[in-house]
Amino acid sequence: MFLGCSVSPLVGFRACNDLTCQQNGQRGIRIACHLSRWFLDRMVEVICNWGPIDRHRVSIHTPRLVAPDADVFAFASKGNGEDLRMVFSRAEAPPFDVSAVNGRSALNLATMEQEPRTCQFLI
């Protein structure tokens, strides 16, 4: 049923039990599962957060899968921020789309290609 499933810790964890800390010792995990095309052409992402002060939180996202050769991915991996702005302003693609092949977003690709300005724009 699944094409692939990955589990990763959330970025930005800071151990802290003080109420003034932004993260409050919060921990988290991200699980992304790519469903088969014959079943449902979607990726299901479950994010779980928990900490000593906050309650447990679970978020479920189903980002849209698009072709891996979509303009948004090419622009992100080449650091082409102006064309990304144009794509987003025309509502041709949201920044949350993921590749149907590997589940990577524009931000993932910009990070892999070490494009800091593009990463900052996408964040």
pLDDT at 61: 78
Residues contacting 96, CB < 8 A, separation 6+: 61, 63, 64, 105
Read off the pLDDT of each residue in 56-79 and give the average, rounded to a whole number.
87
Enumerate domains of the chain plus CATH numbers.
2-61 (no CATH), 65-122 (1.25.40)
Is 78 in contact with 43 (CB distance < 8 Å)?
no
Mind listing the pLDDT tens digit for each residue in 68-95?
899 999 999 999 989 999 999 998 888 8
106 burial (CB, 10 Å; 0-12 / 13-18 / 19+) is buried
Claim: this prediction has a pTM higher than 0.85: no
pLDDT tens figures, 12-50: 444 555 555 555 555 677 777 766 665 666 677 787 777
